[in-house]
Amino acid sequence: MGKRILSAFAGLAAGAALFAGGAHAEESVEVLHWWTAGGEAAALNVLKDQLEEQGVTWQDMPVAGGSGVQAMTVLRSRVTSGNAPTAVQMLGYDIQDWANEGVLADLSDLAAKEKWDDVVPKALQRFAKNSDGQWIAAPVNVHSTNWMWANKKIFDEVGVEGEVKDWDELIAVLDKIKEAGYTPIAYGGQPWQDATVFEAVVLSTGGPEFYKKALNDFDPEALGSDTMKTAFDRMSKLHEYVDPNFSGRDWNLATAMVINGKAAVQFMGDWAKGEFLRADLKPGEDFVCQRFPGTQGTVLFNSDQFVMFQVGEDKRDAQIKLASAVMSPTFQIAFNKVKGSVPARTDVPGDELDACGQKGMKELAAANESNQLFGSLAHGYGAPSAVKNAVFDVVTAHFNGEYTSDEAVKALVEAVSAAQ
């Protein structure tokens, strides 16, 4: 009885505090994101926990669909109906598109206080600030797309030793794997995944300058070149090594095929590593990470950024807490260890990351130094979404046999020009 009176009294007191002191106990952030795979959700929990420790409640708004295609559609309808979330996971050019609509919050005071200018890589700042130089997003990580993930047991069984250096070696390895009775490539047939593989193939086929000309600058000559035709031919070649059920498969289910030893390799960004880690596998022992053969030395990057929308005064404090938490060095390490990416700050040590993460971090710094760091087209850092989607359409139609390579090259030139 006494206890009940006491707790009723405590409830009253808490209510009074709320009334007198503003919305402190009620602080919350609503966050729209597409991190629904196991490794992704685990990484996001690091952020949720950190905010909850600061008394900020997390209202989760997950929209499944790799690379955020569906999430961006949902976002559009939320903003149109005047109900923008506090923060949204977003990529590159999409951030700039939203900035141009004048609906984003300014984080510049926080950024100045925490010296983001000095620690966030310049390649990311370009996207995290609007045209007036105001900070509108907090970058969580740097991912890279030109990776190959392999099942170590299968590689050992067919005698792969060391790195698979180039395209010819890759084909030789895939043939051996096929002969041994495995599905060589774990493949998810969705447009963004086709494009993720395609950009690595373009880079491997034409080299870094060609990649930049074709998939960052959209030079019509590069797009319509023989080199591009070879890249499409190579996509057709890869098609010979996928299983019959590839169509529509989610990326994490493809990763699971490599984890379970059903397939040997997956060509995918380093978010795939989050799935291997979550399955308790060790890099170098159970799985292999290496650059897509023939792309060593070059890094195709993308970065998940939390874009802040204009919210009412009552939500502003929590929004700033979220942005500050995202940028804190301890969070950047804890999160990226789980996510598979590397920190979006140049001043944090990499020694807590696994071997693949440390390799990724070194390669990112070196590629930045030598100007071999380019935006991933498939993940929003090569072009605004109209052009990106035009490329997706052609690449997917070709991969599914609707175009010959010659037709695909022509269609690519036309589709890009129409979308520009």
Contact in structure between 68 and 91 (CB atoms under 8 Å): yes
Distance (Å, whole) CA 332 – CA 346: 11
How many CA atoms within 13 Å lie on the side-chain side of 84?
20
Q: Which residue has the tokens 């999160």?
A: 335
Task: Give which of 130, 129, 132 is closest to 117, Cα–Cα.
Answer: 129
Taking the complex as a whole, the smallest distance from the CB of residue 390 to ligand BGC amounts, in Å, to: 18
Number of residue whose CB is nearest ligand BGC: 271
Rank residues 37 and 408 by Cβ distance to ligand BGC and give the closer one: 37
For ligand BGC, the closer of residues 61 and 164 by Cβ is 61
Alpha carbon 315 to its chain's center: 27
67 in Cβ contact with 194 (< 8 Å): no
Q: What is the DSSP string of 13-59?
A: HHHHHHHHH-SGGG-EEEEEE---SHHHHHHHHHHHHHHHHTTPEEE
Our CB check for ligand BGC shows the closer of 182 and 335 to be 335
Which of residues 46 and 177 has its CB atom nearest to ligand BGC in the complex? 46
Which C-beta is closer to ligand BGC: that of 182 or that of 292?
Answer: 292
Q: Which is nearer to ligand BGC, 315 or 345 (by Cβ)?
A: 345
- Which residue's CB is nearer to ligand BGC, number 34 or number 392? 34
Looking only at the bridges linking them, the beta strands covering 373-375 and 299-302 are: parallel
Distance CA 292, CA 358 (A): 17
Minimal distance, residue 349 CB to ligand BGC, in Å:
22
Question: Residue 298 or 302: which CB sits closer to ligand BGC?
Answer: 302
Shortest Cβ distance from residue 385 to ligand BGC (Å)? 12
Q: For residues 22 and 187, what is the distance between their CA atoms, to the nearest angstrom? A: 52
Instruction: Compute the half-sphere exposure of residue 363: CA atoms within 13 Å on the CB side of its CA.
Output: 25
Amino acid at 139: P
By C-beta, is 47 or 222 nearer to ligand BGC? 47
Instruction: Determine the 3-state secondary structure of 86 from DSSP.
Output: coil
State the nearest-atom distance from the C-beta of 313 to ligand BGC, in Å.
31
Q: How far apart are CA 172 and CA 103, in angstroms?
A: 52
The answer to whether 363 touches 353, Cβ cutoff 8 Å, is no
Rounded least distance, CB 4 to ligand BGC, Å: 48
Which residue lies nearer to ligand BGC by CB, 225 or 252?
A: 252
Q: What share of the chain is helix, strand, coil (3-state, %, to 5)?
A: 55, 15, 30
Residues that bind ligand BGC (CB under 6 A): 34, 40, 66-68, 91, 143, 251, 271, 302, 304, 379
Cβ at position 192, least distance to ligand BGC in Å: 8
Residue 35 in contact with residue 63, Cβ under 8 Å? no
CB 91 within 8 A of CB 303: yes
φ and ψ at residue 161, rounded to 5 degrees: -120, 125
- Tell me if 276 sits within 8 A of 259, measured CB to CB: yes
- Please, how many CA atoms are within 13 Å of residue 222, restricted to the half-sphere of its CB? 18
Q: Is 185 strand, coil or helix? A: strand
